[in-house]
Amino acid sequence: MKNKELSVIFNEMADLLEIKGEQVFRINSYRRAARTIKDLADDIETVAGDGELAKLPGIGKSTAEKIEEYLNKGKISKHQALLQSVPAGLPALLNIPGMGPKKIALAWKALDVTGVSDLKRVIDSGELAQLKGMGAKSVEQIAAGLQFAEGVSDRTPLGLAWPLAEELAEHMRKVKGVRRVEIGGSLRRGCETIGDLDLLCEAKDGERVVQAFTSLPHTKSVLASGKTKGSIMVDRRDGAEIQVDCRVVPKESFGAALQYFTGSKEHNVRLREIAVKKKWKLNEWGLFDGDTQLAGKDEASIYKKLGVPFVPPEQREDRGEFDLSKPERLITLKDIRGDLHSHTTASDGKTDAETMARAAADLGYEYIAITDHSKSSAVANGLSIDRMWRQIEKLRELNKRLDTITVLVGCECDILADGSLDYPDKILAACDFIVASVHSAMRQDREKITARVTMAMENPHVCVLGHPTARLINRREPMDLDMAAVVAKAAETDTALELNASWQRLDLNDRHVRMAVDAGVKISINTDSHSVAQFDQMKLGVATARRGWARAKDVINTLPLPSLRNWIAAKRERA
């Protein structure tokens, strides 16, 4: 699917137009097109082939022609012209948190900033802070954003790496002589960002398998090709590249290799230390006593022989997993009974409520909470008070027509800058489920933003604190929250903390999940879906929850519906 690629291009075109100071309506038209394409459940090539492009919201004749041009030629002439109309280093500044199109335009036109090196120069000289519309605080945030961007630019978000790795693995499973293929590395551990991808293949003829790997249609360049290992560069869905390594190992060593190349390095060091104490040797070929192989055909045999409990990949970080005498079962995707944060066409979603509900039912869910945006989220078409009352009535009527799933009437209510909520209690009380989230004034200082969030959790109608830190992976740093205070308030008020499974967020992160679980605070794993296709992101949230050692009993949307309703009622009554 080329949906993601096109969405990125249209957003970049909008950014470039804004940098150049073009008309607002043209900028907004490209942004609308980017959102439509990004949230489209169907393949854009299929839609174009059926002649249905013009029926998509925000896609006019001119935009449809640009989409067709990209599908036919792999590029859009207007996009290329815009790139050539500004200095080559300017678009890279868009990746720096705090440097939006308007600030880039200001720095370019006033200080001749044409790239990252120029930006560093004017920050260090103090010239940037002297510009009208900047100021010391803005420049401080830009400097921090620059440092943040340079630190993450070579990491691939889990949500981009996972489908690519699965696609490549599926190709390798079809290669003659390959008996088994597994994904290893940090992806198998569910890390939020990935350095490169690791594939392990069980086969006898390693050289032939490596040749097949380096000849995959995804290959942009070949870095290495040997008898047992190959390395290639492939395109990510956002246009960047990522390295993929493939190792071929024999059956008797496959488990050892999978364990070794899954990592983490710290976990593996601890395992080797245990082996050394027994005067054994552990490496990617197996567990050995001298020349005798003791284990290695599968992972479990290694842990068993070493006398330690089997550790799931997501826990292999040397964060206490070796201290567990009997590890508890971690949450799995099958434990999830519903999604408690989703959006529809009532606000900024791309799918109507009934379609979303029926798609959730097809996944086997018992319930779904429809939580469209509240009135202050103007950019997300937030519902006015009148529209929200009509939404409540509409969803109640929808429930009467559905017999395979229950729709919980809800909203994602903005936490305003002073800590108050965007809707009056009367509306909140009329809903079944409330997600409260910060969407504005994210740069408040630590004390103020923490007080704001904890104040919102004191409202008895608030069930979940949505995407608590408001971070966007590789794009926006988290708010400066005192997470210990937030977790303590969640425990005090019996408010669940959301693990937002959207691949751009994964918020809470794994360490914050662990902190919450250890404090007895409940987690809610939700996809924040704006279309049916995004329900698939639940697996990313579950992986992150497992990294935080969450069990099914720690997550509210593993509860049967009657138990969930009782939890909500108890929270309101206790308050």
Domain residue limits at 568: 333-574
Q: Write down the pLDDT at residue 136.
A: 84
Is there a domain that residue 26 lies in? yes
Q: What is the count of structural domains for the chain?
A: 3
Judge if 142 and 281 occupy the same domain. no
Is there a domain that residue 472 lies in? yes
CATH of the domain at 91: 1.10.150.110
From the DSSP assignment, how many helices (H) and strands (E) are in the chain?
23, 17
Contact assessment for residue 415 and residue 453, using Cβ atoms and an 8 Å cutoff? yes
Contact assessment for residue 509 and residue 500, using Cβ atoms and an 8 Å cutoff? no
Per-run averaged pLDDT (10 residues), the chain, 575 residues:
83 93 89 85 86 89 92 91 91 85 92 91 91 85 80 82 97 97 98 96 96 95 95 88 96 97 95 97 96 96 96 96 91 98 95 97 98 93 97 97 96 97 97 97 94 97 98 89 97 97 97 97 98 96 98 98 97 79
Residue 51: which region, alpha, beta or left (left: phi > 0; alpha: psi -120 to 50)? left
Judge if 170 and 137 occupy the same domain. no
Q: Write down the pLDDT at residue 144.
A: 82
Q: Write down the pLDDT at residue 25.
A: 87
Is there a domain that residue 313 lies in? yes
Per-residue pLDDT of 258-286, as tens digits, reads 999 999 999 999 999 999 999 999 999 99
Judge if 122 and 203 occupy the same domain. no
CB atoms within 10 A of CB 544: 28
Domain boundary among the residues 276, 301, 323 is at 323
Cα–Cα–Cα angle for 205, 209, 214, nearest 5°?
150
Instruction: Work out the end-to-end distance of the chain between its first and last CA atoms, rounded to an integer number of angstroms.
Output: 48
Whole-angstrom CA distances from 267 to 254, 262, 515 are 18, 10, 20
What's the CA gap between 108 and 105, in Å, rounded? 5
The closest of 380, 381, 378, 360 to 370, measured between CA atoms, is: 360
Judge if 462 and 509 occupy the same domain. yes
Query: What is the number of alpha carbons within 13 Å of residue 487 lying toward its C-beta?
Result: 16
CATH of the domain at 183: 3.30.460.10
Is there a domain that residue 542 lies in? yes
Is there a domain that residue 74 lies in? yes
Domain boundary among the residues 283, 302, 323 is at 323
Q: Write down the pLDDT at residue 97.
A: 79
Per-residue pLDDT of 369-418, as tens digits, reads 999 999 999 889 999 999 999 999 999 999 999 999 999 999 999 999 99
Domain boundary among the residues 135, 152, 169 is at 152
Judge if 124 and 171 occupy the same domain. no
Q: Write down the pLDDT at residue 152.
A: 60
Is there a domain that residue 366 lies in? yes
Q: Would you give the distance in Å from CA 394 to the centre of its chain?
A: 31
Q: Would you give the distance in Å from CA 289 to the centre of its chain?
A: 43
- Altogether, the residues listed in the chain come to a count of 575
Judge if 517 and 465 occupy the same domain. yes
> What is the secondary structure of 508-535 as a DSSP string?
S-HHHHHHHHHTT--EEEE--BSSGGGG
Judge if 252 and 388 occupy the same domain. no
Judge if 309 and 339 occupy the same domain. no
What's the CA gap between 523 and 39, in Å, rounded? 26
Judge if 178 and 305 occupy the same domain. yes
Contact assessment for residue 371 and residue 388, using Cβ atoms and an 8 Å cutoff? no
Q: Write down the pLDDT at residue 319.
A: 93
Burial of 398 (0-12, 13-18, 19+ CB in 10 A): middle
Is there a domain that residue 328 lies in? no
Judge if 145 and 210 occupy the same domain. no
Q: Write down the pLDDT at residue 575.
A: 59
Q: Write down the pLDDT at residue 151.
A: 64
Judge if 350 and 369 occupy the same domain. yes
Judge if 176 and 138 occupy the same domain. no
